[in-house]
Every structure is written in structure tokens, then in C-alpha cells.
Amino acid sequence: MSRPRALENIRVVDFSWVRAGPWATRWLGALGAEIIKIEWPENERGRLPSTTTPQDLEVNLNTSGNFNDTNVNKKSLSLNVRSAKGLEIVKRLIAVSDIVIENFSSRVLQKWGLGYEELCKIKPDIVYVSMSGYGHTGRHHHYTTFGPVAQAVSGLTYLSGLPDKPPAGWGWSYMDDTGGMYGAMCALTGLYHRNMTGQGQHIDLSQMVASVPLVGPALLDFTVNGRGSRRAGYPPGNRAHWPGTPLVNNYRGPTVAPHNAYRTDPGEYNDWCVIVCHSDAEWQRLVQVMGAPSWASSEKFATVTARLQHQQELDDKIEAWTMTLGKYEVTERCQAAGVRALPVQSAEDRVEHDPQLRHREMYLAMAHPALGLHKVQNAPFKLSETPPSNRLPSPLIGQHTREIVEGLLGYSHEELRAGFADGTFWPTKRPRFSYMEEMLGD
């Protein structure tokens, strides 16, 4: 008997594209909601351009690896929503759905005639989550973002780097990932509220604004103490404090030393291990792990204030030791002795070498009709009664058009064929994929 799923019988109309929106609905899908992705190949963003198509495959709408990982657990309806007929069909779909989610610019759905008031006429208790860059409210609602821009404007980028150097920032669209988290959080919160009260609502999420509470302690240091983050020694790289600068908390946690990344053997690009000691006791344990070298018994390293004062020398000495071992050996020796240490892990490390992620089945293989068998990322939580799971590979574009149009919405097969002929379900001049031809047969 198959297990129940947390979002059983919940249907989501998903207009979202690129990363943040699809990353939100991916998790709703893993929790059991039926995600219907509305797509149109002429202005698709997320499948193309693809930089993650395997080297031996042709780049096309169905071969992006990153799209696959971002869109498992979804169905695809190809539909020209900008046509009168397409709009009518999507309205019928909304009428039998629970959630509408999109991450367009702020006025797009309204222009289509699908603003919140319209959605309410179609489905009075609809939960509508808009995920635009700056939100639907406020003077800059028409501004646009990518993750890096939201991160820059909100202060997140500034928190990353070495003092007196340009910001190192985030090496990916952290706020597309995290914006997706907030999209899913908003949808689930709105859904819970609907189930309890019968009331739907419009939740106006902004990627840029969502970033701001993530720099909260730095903001309070300014609004309460008047201390800005643009100051000597900040940000302090991987350290809790930069030597020779005023001793001020860096908003990551306690101010301690050692607290840094150290090179490990054999010294390649990702051969680093981080070590942190939160107390004198942890430091003394590290000293033992290092073989109790004579330098470590110096007064210079006896107290946390002394270690902070002599941090450069401390870090040099520790690194001389870590250079003699691989990063997993440093980790295992330290952790076995109760010292905080973990390796810097690349994607390859996480997939191939991380024993914890392997044990937790973080990456399980799943077959995709165009990409073949590949590992897919799983949820980072286990629910005892309604476990999340990946059940469907990402959809081929338009793969479920017949299933949805005929099976769910009750249109006839002739109407489906007519819709393909008149450009409602696929551009008339664009070559169809073979599965579309099959869909149009009897």
C-alpha cells in the first residue's frame, strides 16, 4: 500500500520559469501536490539556454540537466495563454486548482486578465503566490532581478568576502534557491490558512525583500547601536574576526579562534578543511589531535583573547599540520576527538565522497525519457507519515497536454486536435516532438 502524501489532492497551476519559481513548486511536488506547469516554447526560460546538457546529447527543450533537477514531480501543459482560447482553457484549469504561482514581472498576470480579482471570480478561495523581483507593491515594483542583483541590493553580497577586497559575494543565485524556499513557504502557509478558514488570498512575495531579513543582526547593529557594516575588518572572510581591527561581532556566531579554512594535502583547488574551536576545551582537544606540538603550549595561544590576538600565527601553524593530511582525514581525526571540522566539498565531493549524504540517500537515480538515468536531489527532511519523494522526472515540454486537457478538463480529443491545428497547444510553424504526434493519434 502506498503511503499518503502530505499534499495529496492539491493542484497547483504553475506559471513559473527560470529557477526561483520552479524551485518552489518542485518541493510542493515532492510533498505530493499535482504541479501543472504552463509552458510555451516561444518564450520559454528555464529549459533554454542550457549549460547542463550532457556532452553527448543535442541541446534542445528537453535536454537540460539543471531543468530536470529543478522540475521533477511536475507535469507540463503547453498552452498559448496569450490567445483567447488558451486563456479560456487556463481559466478552466484554475477553477479546479488550489494554488496559482508565478514569478513574472509584477504586472504580467494582470495584463493577461489573470490578476487576483479575476482569479477569485474563477476560484474564490484560490491561494495566489506572486514571486516577482521587487513584489507587486512599492514604487520599484517594475524593477527586475536575477539572484545576484537581489543579493547585491539587499546587503547579502556585501557580507561575503575579505576585508579591503571587492565583495566575493555568492557564487550562484542564492536568492533564486532561497526565493524558491519562500515561494513554497508562502504557498503552504496560504494553503494551511485556507484549510482552516476557507479563505484564499494573494501573497505578494519579493525576491529582493525576502533577502533583507537574512541580514537581520547587521541591520539591528545599525538601527540599535548605530554601527554600520562598512567598517575596518569587515567582512572577515572565513574568520570570526580579522586581526588588527576592532573586536566587533561579525554576525555569524561567537567571536573565536581558530575559525578558518586551512589547506590540506594534496593542495588542489578544493583541498581545504575548516576548523572552529568554540571553547578552550575544544582548542585543547585540537592541540592533542595535532600531536601536542610545543608551539601550541605557548602563552600566545592559551586563551581565546590571546588566540584572537595572534590569529595569523595560529592559522599558519594549524595549516602546516593540515597540509600533511587529506581533508577527510583532518575531519575524521578532529571529529573523533570532539573538535569542529569539516571538508570544503565540491559538487563531486558531495555526490561521490560524502558518507553522510550517501547514508541519507540524498542523490537517487531516476530515469528521464531524453536524458536517461541520472541522480536527482532529494528532500533534506524525512516525514514519518508522509515522506517526500521524487515520483516523476521533469516533464518533456507539453508532455501532459492531452492528459490535462482531455482527462482533467473534459475537452474532447477533437478539440485537442483543433487546438494543435490553430496554435493553442503548440506553435503551428514549430516542429512537433514525436510524443505530440502520438498524443494526436486516436
Partner 1 sequence: MTDGPGTDAQSLPGPLAGLRILELADETGQFCGKLLADRGADVVKIEPPGGERSRYVGPFLDDIPHPDRSLSFWHYNTSKRGITLNLETADGRQLFRRLAAASDVILETFRPGFLASLGLEYESLREQNAGLIMCALTPFGQTGPWRDYLSSDLLHMAAGGEMASCGYDEVDVPSAPPIAPGGGNAWHMGCHFAYIAIMAALVHRTVAGEGQYIDASIHEACALTTESAIANYLYRGEVLRRHTGRHHAPGPTPRTQFRAKDGTYVCALVAGRLNPRYIGELADLLDSYGMAGDLRDPKYQDPAVIAANTSHIIDDLVANFIASLPAEEVYHAAQERGFTWGAVRAPEALLDDAHLHDRGFWKQVEHPELGRSFVYPGEAAIYNGSPWRISRRAPLVGEHNTEIFCDELGLSRRELAILAENRVI
**Sites for partner 1 among residues 308-367 (CB under 8 A):** 335, 338-351, 354-357, 359-360, 362-363
Binding to partner 1 by residue 298, rule CB under 8 A?
no
Among 41, 115, 161, 326, the residue binding partner 1 under the rule CB under 8 A is 161
Q: Which is nearer to partner 1, 86 or 258 (CB)?
A: 258
**Cβ-based burial of 228 (10 A; exposed 0-12, middle 13-18, buried ≥19):** exposed
Output the smallest distance, CB 433 to partner 1, in A. 20
Binding to partner 1 by residue 269, rule CB under 8 A?
yes
Among 81, 371, 396, 436, the residue binding partner 1 under the rule CB under 8 A is 371
**Cβ-based burial of 14 (10 A; exposed 0-12, middle 13-18, buried ≥19):** buried
DSSP secondary structure code for residue 351 in this structure: I
Binding to partner 1 by residue 52, rule CB under 8 A?
yes
The grid coordinates of residue 123 equal 476560484
Residue 122 makes CB contacts below 8 A (sequence gap 6+) with: 91, 94, 95
Q: Which is nearer to partner 1, 92 or 141 (CB)?
A: 141
Identity of the residue numbered 72: V
Q: Which is nearer to partner 1, 379 or 409 (CB)?
A: 379
Q: Can you say how many angstroms the Cα of residue 327 is from the centroid of all Cα atoms in its chain? A: 27
Q: Can you say how many angstroms the Cα of residue 142 is from the centroid of all Cα atoms in its chain? A: 24
Binding to partner 1 by residue 104, rule CB under 8 A?
no
> Cis before residue 49, ω within 30 degrees of 0?
yes
Interface region with partner 1, contact rule CB under 8 A, candidates 74-82, 261-269, 392-400, 403-411: 261-269
Among 60, 160, 284, 298, the residue binding partner 1 under the rule CB under 8 A is 160
Output the smallest distance, CB 416 to partner 1, in A. 33
Binding to partner 1 by residue 270, rule CB under 8 A?
yes
Binding to partner 1 by residue 173, rule CB under 8 A?
yes
Interface region with partner 1, contact rule CB under 8 A, candidates 223-231, 391-399, 424-432, 434-442: 223-231
Which is the catalytic residue, given 176, 204, 315, 354? 176
Q: Which is nearer to partner 1, 71 or 80 (CB)?
A: 71
Q: How far apart are CA 14 and CA 21, in angstroms?
A: 8
Instruction: Tell me, residue by residue from 60 to 89, as one string, x for binding to partner 1 by CB under 8 A and - for no binding.
Output: -----xx-xx--------------------
Q: Which is nearer to partner 1, 80 or 132 (CB)?
A: 132
Q: Can you say how many angstroms the Cα of residue 387 is from the centroid of all Cα atoms in its chain? A: 20
Binding to partner 1 by residue 295, rule CB under 8 A?
no
Among 45, 107, 121, 375, the residue binding partner 1 under the rule CB under 8 A is 375
Interface region with partner 1, contact rule CB under 8 A, candidates 161-169, 300-308, 399-407, 416-424: 161-169
Instruction: Tell me, residue by residue from 11 to 40, as one string, x for binding to partner 1 by CB under 8 A and - for no binding.
Output: --------x-------x---x---------
Instruction: Tell me, residue by residue from 180 to 219, as one string, x for binding to partner 1 by CB under 8 A and - for no binding.
Output: -xx-xxx-xxxxxx-xxx-xxxxxxxx--xx-xxxxxxxx
Binding to partner 1 by residue 149, rule CB under 8 A?
yes
Q: How far apart are CA 275 and CA 256, in angstroms?
A: 11
Window 398 to 437, contacts with partner 1 (CB under 8 A): none
**Total residue length of the chain:** 442
What are the backbone dihedrals phi and psi of residue 352, each rounded to the nearest 5 degrees, phi first? -100, -30
Parallel, antiparallel or unpaired: strands 272-276 and 340-343? antiparallel
Interface region with partner 1, contact rule CB under 8 A, candidates 150-158, 291-299, 395-403, 427-435: 150-158
Identity of the residue numbered 273: C
Tell me the torsion sign for CA atoms 99, 398, 115, 134: positive
What are the backbone dihedrals phi and psi of residue 271, each rounded to the nearest 5 degrees, phi first? -90, 85
| Burial track 27-60 (b if 16+ CB lie within 10 A, e otherwise) | bbbbbbbbbbbbbbbeeeebbeebeebeeeeeee
For residue 263, give Cα distances in angstroms to 42, 217, 268, 323, 327.
Answer: 48, 30, 9, 6, 8
Q: Is 318 helix (H, G, I), strand (E, B) or coil?
A: helix
Catalytic residue list contains 271:
no
What are the backbone dihedrals phi and psi of residue 185, each rounded to the nearest 5 degrees, phi first? -60, -45
Window 232 to 251, contacts with partner 1 (CB under 8 A): 235-238, 248-251
Total residues at the site for partner 1 (CB under 8 A)?
A: 161
Parallel, antiparallel or unpaired: strands 340-343 and 363-368? unpaired
Tell me which residues are annotated as active site: 176
